[in-house]
Structure 1
Amino acid sequence: MKTIAVIGYSGSGKTTLLCALIPLLHAKGLRIAVVKATHHEVDWDTPGKDSFRLREAGAEAVLLQGPKRWFTTCRAPETVDLESMAACLPTPADLLFLEGHKGLPIPKIEVHRPSLQKPLLALEDPQIIAVASDVPLSIHCSVLDLNAPETIAKFIHTWIHEEP
């Protein structure tokens, strides 16, 4: 499974880009998984429900299975690492997108909008292989048109097949 992070500042359009890329890459025959990072405490379960009680009792992982969807919760390790996150994915995938996790030493695509007046992360991070922006940029890595998700999907598809 190939892994790439989509990083950028809040409001830059990371989720919007991923929502455009997933069906395009799926149409190319790729199975896609996504891990979305947040700095907030998360809980999809309801106190008192059996799945909640099983987790609170100490289960390392709980998979709540319904007729059309499964939800999995895993106990987070003290240090977030790619292997721990991938191990909790219940479905095999060809490509794992991480939304966020800019500190992990993995290939990344930065979503950058100069209008947000935030610094360009690619200037400091050699793991950034491309920047998706809504304006032309002159930097050391590939620059992709943020408003052309087909081009970004083609870049990722090519990258998947070129990377060892």
Structure 2
Amino acid sequence: MNIKKTLAICGYSGSGKTTLLAKVIPLLVEQGFKVATLKHAHHDIEFDISGKDSYKLRKAGSLQTIAACDNRYAFICETPNKPADLQTLVNQFSDVDIILVEGFKDEPIPKIICHRSRVQKQFFIDDFTLAIASDEPLDTNVPRFDINQPIQIVEFIKSYLLKR
């Protein structure tokens, strides 16, 4: 299959983005899809541990660091005063069928919006919204799926992947 498609799962904090992805990803993997994820954070995050060699090298001034072992590797790139744009981040992935992006709701990419009634914020839809995953009925022109029934969302994602 090896098609590189990107689909964002967006919503306000507490809307269930990570919970939904944690349920959707294994269902896609079980069906043979190679899934990658890209998580957006609004705060400064640290990936390596203070005191470890990779941390020391990065803090010494290395702009790019790869920490590798037999089972995985992590690429850390410092971007002081120049945040990486979404396309640059997406281009880091290879040999996957889909890149599931958590966040980046303002980007012009296809997205499923998560909405929970307890968040008490109006859901948002833009021209790139394909569907909404919600815990309540909503008046909208895009398909709505029950956020607590991830198999419905997986079937929708599969149909999205097979288009084009």
TM-score, normalised by the number of residues in structure 2: 0.88
Determine the C-alpha separation between the residues in 2 that align with 1:95 and 1:75.
26
Match of 2:64 in 1: 61
Match of 2:157 in 1: 156
Q: Which moved more, 1:143-152 or 1:58-67?
A: 58-67
Match of 2:124 in 1: 121
TM-score, normalised by the number of residues in structure 1: 0.88
Per-residue displacement from partner, 1:65-84 (whole Å, max 9, x unpaired)? 12333222123372442221
Is 1:83 the counterpart of 2:87 in the alignment?
A: yes
Partner SS state of residue 15, structure 1: helix
Aligned residues: 160
Partner SS state of residue 35, structure 1: strand
Determine the C-alpha separation between the residues in 2 that align with 1:20 and 1:51.
32
Give 1:41's match in structure 2, choosing from 41, 44, 68: 44
Matched to 1:129, the amino acid is L
RMSD value over aligned CA atoms? 1.8
Which blocks of at least 5 consecutive residues in structure 2 are unaligned? none
Q: Is the 8 A contact 1:6 1:108 kept in 2?
A: yes
Match of 2:144 in 1: 143
Matched to 2:139, the amino acid is S
CA drift of 1:58 comes to 4.3
Matched to 1:85, the amino acid is L
CA drift of 1:57 comes to 4.4
Which blocks of at least 5 consecutive residues in structure 1 are unaligned? none
Give 2:28's match in structure 1, choosing from 18, 21, 25: 25
Determine the C-alpha separation between the residues in 2 that align with 1:87 and 1:75.
17
